Amino acid sequence: MLHVVTLVSHPAHPALRQEHMDALAAHLPAGASVHWLAPHIAADLSVPLDAALDKRQLADHLRASLKGAALDVIVQPAEGRRKKLFLADMDSTMIGQECIDELADFAGMKSHVAAITERAMRGEIEFEPALRERVALLKGLEADIIERVYQERIRLTSGAQELIGTMRAHGTYTALVSGGFTLFTQKVAAALGFDEHRGNRLIVEDDRFAGTVADPILGREAKLTTLISLRDAHKLSHDQTMAVGDGANDLAMLQEAGLGIAYHAKPAVAHAAHVRIDHADLTALLYMQGYNAADFSK
């Protein structure tokens, strides 16, 4: 069965050289063909492999052969690489920040809230009670602080605009699915051009946060359910779906997707997802689908 091994580096620090391709080829069956997707940034090696092989295990082995080079390695079947449904986490994935931590900074509690966030994203504590605990600490904060946080603190992740623009230009349905808040998802979804967004709703009373979040909470199971419902609504197969995230509440969604990507993720998530991206930016998700840099849209 024909497979593709994709190597990707961060476009701001192009690190991919022919010597890296040769190093990987030495661990693959003879006759692997090379196709460059972007000079010194991304390339494919096409090679026949046993369909039953553990693709994640092979990717780990090939990554180790690169001896610490800042390159990501993805192994997948050549057929069906381009996906028709894409779900993405928001905080620390499509944006570089955790919105609730930035809100907590204005309440003088960033370090405390950030510590809870980190534990929840690592899967050390349950997401829903951790969210309620953190939201309670925002009680009394003026709701219009959202706009200030968004303008001053929130930054789109490198490659996010190209990722969503290119996938939508090629007919993919895109959904931003966050355990964060709709007050932010609506802004990020609009900035990037997502088809839809889902998140948790902060309760506001008299223009201030009430310290509560509306039920039901969108967490691990809701993200999984969203993937399944959108897949069914668009009459797509399992293999036509892709999802990306970084935290423990993303893991069920990532494992259910045809291709689930752990993006600069917590260790447990990076270990369990189909693919891990540790070095590149979000354009890696385009390269792994076989897009050339010349194909990118914004």
pLDDT per residue as tens digits for the range 9-23: 999 999 999 999 999
Judge whether 89 counts as a catalytic residue.
Answer: yes
Residues 6+ apart with CB under 8 A from 127: 120, 179, 217, 219, 220, 248, 249
133 and 222 part of one domain: yes
Residues in the chain: 298
Judge whether 54 counts as a catalytic residue.
Answer: no
The pLDDT value recorded for residue 298 is 85
Single out the catalytic residue among 44, 54, 60, 89. 89
Mark which of 36, 58, 79 sits at the end of a domain.
79
Q: In this structure, what token pair is assigned to residue 206?
A: 């008299």
pTM equals: 0.96
Give the CATH number, domain containing residue 88.
3.40.50.1000
Q: In this structure, what token pair is assigned to residue 82?
A: 């381009």
Query: Which residue type occupies 169?
Result: A
98 and 237 part of one domain: yes
Domain tally, the chain: 2
179 and 228 part of one domain: yes
Structural domain boundaries enclosing 60: 1-79
156 and 297 part of one domain: yes
**Strands 196-200, 173-181: parallel, antiparallel or unpaired by DSSP?**
parallel
Mark which of 79, 98, 133 sits at the end of a domain.
79
Mark which of 54, 79, 104 sits at the end of a domain.
79
154 and 223 part of one domain: yes
**CA pair distance 86, 167, nearest whole angstrom:** 8
Scanning the structure block, which residue is given the tokens 């022919």?
A: 18
Packing angle, helices 127-136 and 110-121, rounded to 10: 170
Sites in the chain below the pLDDT cut of 70: none
194 and 131 part of one domain: yes
Single out the catalytic residue among 44, 72, 91, 101. 91
